[in-house]
A = this chain, B = another copy of it.
Amino acid sequence: MRIPKHIAVIPDGNRRWAKSAGLEKHEGYNHGLDPGLLFLKLCRKYGVEEVTYYGFTTDNCKRPKAQVEAFSKACVEAVKLIEDDNVSLLVVGNTESDCFPPELLPYTTRTHSDSGDIKANFLVNYGWEWDLGAMHTDTKNRKSIYDSLRSKDISRIDLVIRLGGRSRLSGLLPVQSVYADIFCLDDMWPDFNEDHFLAALNWYNGQDITLGG
C-alpha cells in the first residue's frame, strides 16, 4: 500500500458538531482534542512521517471573542498533549499579533529535531498572506521559493484530509499543497475515527502520482 509521507488535516466542523449536540458553538473545540491525538496515533501506526494540523488562522480571529478564546485554548492544549507524545514538534504562525498564544512561542523552533521520530506541525494564527509575505525571489527554482516561505520548515503535502463537509483548502499552505490529493469527509471533526483515516488511506492508494509529468 502506498502511504503518504505527509498528511495535513483540516479539522473542520467543531462548531456545527457542538450545535447539533446542544452545546454552545465555542464548546465544540474542546471535543476536537481527542481526535487530534487519535490522528497522530494512526499516522504513526501506518508509517506516515509528517503531519500538519490546521489549528487556526489570522482570519479565524475575527470571530466572536468566546470562540477565539476557545479555539486558542484548545490549540495550546493540543500542542502540549502532542508534545508529551514524543514528536518532533513545530508551531508555525504569525507570532507578532495578539492572537498568537504566548504559551506556544517556545515551539516556534522545532523540538526533538534529531530524534528521527514523526514530525508534527501545528499551524497557529497562520495566514497564507503572512506565509507568502516575505518572499524575495528572482527565480522559478522550486527550492528557492520554498526557502523564502515563512513556513519553509514544513515539507510538501501528499494528502489533505478535511472533515466537516467542505471541499476547499481555506488558505492551507498554498505552496506545500500544490500537488496534494484532497480527501473530504462529511462527518464533523469531533467524530473523527479510524474508519475515516482508513478511507482516506485507501482512497489515496488508488490515486496516481504524476506531479504534472
Contacts and interface: CB of A to CB of B under 8 A. Distances in A.
Contacts of A145: 129, 132-133
A167 interface: yes
Contact of A140 (B133, B174, B175): B133
Nearest to A207: B166
A136 interface: yes
Interface of A: 57-60, 62-63, 94, 127-130, 132-142, 145, 148, 166-171, 174-175, 177-184, 207-208, 211-213
A167 B181 contact: yes
Nearest to A134: B138
B132 A137 contact: yes
B177 A174 contact: yes
A174 B171 contact: no
B135 A137 contact: yes
Given A145-B133, A171-B212, A140 B127 contact: yes
B59 A140 contact: no
Residue of A60, A132, A136, A170 ringed by the most chain B CB atoms within 10 A = A132
A8 B62 CA distance: 29
A160 to B, nearest CB: 9
B129 A141 contact: yes
A63 B46 CA distance: 33
Contacts of A57: 212
A37 B128 CA distance: 34
A169 B178 CA distance: 6
